[in-house]
Structure 1
Amino acid sequence: MREAVRTILECVGEDPDREGLLATPDRYAKAMLFFTQGYQQNVRDIVNGAIFHEGHNEMVIVKDIAIFSLCEHHLVPFTGKMHIGYIPRNAVIGISKLPRIADLFSRRLQIQERLTKEVANAIMEVLKPQGVAVVMESSHLCMVMRGVEKAASTTITSCVLGCFERKEKTRNEFLSLVGVNRR
């Protein structure tokens, strides 16, 4: 990877041997491995048995989860926040596991639509709740710094499964609680 970065620097007209860039290929390779560490992780290891049979069957929401990912089309960041809700089927998951699941999938080359769906599907699979809802709002640097150059634009995606998909009232309650219906 270091040699590839060195080549990229040369291709954009830089001298990879100048003082400020000498360590850039190594720094970039380390950063890229960190940004994509989700490829080395799996949901079962992250959950690590943190599913508890509490008999709880009301909505659980973790909102405003900071998300950082790389757009697979341009390899530039997109950042935002994710809201995750689920309705248990008598079992709950440790609440810290929801942001960890979101991080696992965001630390891969992504598009926001797939990221939203992967998080919802993973929670549905590992917890088997009555339903899962995930909403994500992000700013994409591929739209901000290049292309249409619209700095204030955001993209909102959602994935609703189970009772959130079937029951409009349940879906609307979730959207209201995470603040999506306030605009």
Structure 2
Amino acid sequence: MSDDTTLDDHSTDESLPIQTDPATGIDHEKAQRGVRLVLDAIGEDPDRAGLTDTWQRRIPEMLETLTEGDRQAAKPTMRTFEATHRDLVVKTGIPVYSLCEHHMLPYHGTAHVAYRPDDEVVGLSKLIRYVRWQSRRLTVQEELTRDIARGLADELDAGTVLVEISATHMCEAMRGIETETTTTTREIVGEPTAAERERFTDAIARTDGETR
């Protein structure tokens, strides 16, 4: 029986959703068919007990979560408050989990964010939610760092934003050189003062020291 016949046979299974989810934009049937094809390509039996839920439910649901950054509806509401100062706001140690667009393997690490408020500030938890939302898509670390910085500048109407991400890439650790290293990227919007740059760097160093 050919691969196409196998997939076509299962595409009519009443247990499978057959439409794109309007809330997420994920076509569950295509996701299920694709995962079945990959499993078959590596010599696995998609219908064995340990894999049926994998292609029928788990992978499509995982894709919904890990691509939330592509959907504006999933973006956190950046509720702001009147700023009472113009000092740099720094938030360090934000967990980052994303997917490399080259290999679809995860990279994970820590983001550090700072901005100089103009008229408004945002709750610190929103910075964490915003980083998480931006990271949930297929991207590369350099692009993610840039998008977080520029996105926050737009969301908060902030003239100065600094973002640094340090991450380990599974496409290096699990394949290729098979070595776990750390990649660090930084993006700056605006013109922070020397004192602001130093404060940001010192805050990162303190966080790194506490986590070791």
**What TM-score do you get using the length of structure 2 for normalisation?**
0.78
1:19 partner SS: coil
Task: Give the Cα–Cα distance (whole angstroms) in 2 for the partners of residues 172 and 182 of structure 1.
Answer: 15
Higher gyration radius (CA): 2
Residue aligning to 1:173: 199
Q: How many residues align?
A: 178
The alignment status of 1:20 with 2:50, answered yes or no, reads: yes
Flag the 1:36–1:181 CA change in 2: closer, same or farther, 3 A: closer
Q: Please tell me whether the aligned partners of residues 66 and 98 of structure 2 are also in contact (alpha carbons under 8 angstroms).
A: yes
Q: Could you tell me how far 1:104 is from its partner in structure 2?
A: 1.4
Residue aligning to 2:77: 47
Flag the 1:66–1:149 CA change in 2: closer, same or farther, 3 A: same
Q: Supply the RMSD in Å over aligned alpha carbons.
A: 2.0
Residue aligning to 1:37: 68
Residue aligning to 2:7: none
Task: Give the Cα–Cα distance (whole angstroms) in 2 for the partners of residues 51 and 8 of structure 1.
Answer: 45
1:96 partner SS: helix
Residue aligning to 1:107: 136
More strand by share: 1
Bigger relative contact order, structure 1 or 2 (CA pairs below 8 A, ≥6 apart) = 1
Flag the 1:159–1:103 CA change in 2: closer, same or farther, 3 A: same
Q: Please tell me whether the aligned partners of residues 118 and 159 of structure 2 are also in contact (alpha carbons under 8 angstroms).
A: yes
Task: Give the Cα–Cα distance (whole angstroms) in 2 for the partners of residues 86 and 42 of structure 1.
Answer: 24
Task: Give the Cα–Cα distance (whole angstroms) in 2 for the partners of residues 5 and 30 of structure 1.
Answer: 12
Q: Please tell me whether the aligned partners of residues 78 and 141 of structure 1 are also in contact (alpha carbons under 8 angstroms).
A: yes
Query: Out of 71, 75, 80, which is 2:100 matched to?
Result: 71
Q: Please tell me whether the aligned partners of residues 90 and 114 of structure 2 are also in contact (alpha carbons under 8 angstroms).
A: yes
The alignment status of 1:163 with 2:191, answered yes or no, reads: yes
- How much identity, in percent, do the aligned residues show? 34
Point out 4+ residue stretches in structure 1 off by more than 4 angstroms.
180-183
**What TM-score do you get using the length of structure 1 for normalisation?**
0.90
State the AA in 2 paired with 1:157: T
Residue aligning to 1:57: 86
1:23 partner SS: helix
Q: Could you tell me how far 1:144 is from its partner in structure 2?
A: 0.3
Flag the 1:11–1:179 CA change in 2: closer, same or farther, 3 A: same
Q: Could you tell me how far 1:77 is from its partner in structure 2?
A: 0.5
Flag the 1:22–1:181 CA change in 2: closer, same or farther, 3 A: closer
2:50 partner SS: helix
Task: Give the Cα–Cα distance (whole angstroms) in 1 for the partners of residues 108 and 132 of structure 2.
Answer: 12
Q: Please tell me whether the aligned partners of residues 131 and 148 of structure 2 are also in contact (alpha carbons under 8 angstroms).
A: yes
State the AA in 2 paired with 1:125: D
Q: Could you tell me how far 1:66 is from its partner in structure 2?
A: 0.6
Q: Could you tell me how far 1:181 is from its partner in structure 2?
A: 11
List alignment gaps of at least 5 residues for structure 2.
1-30
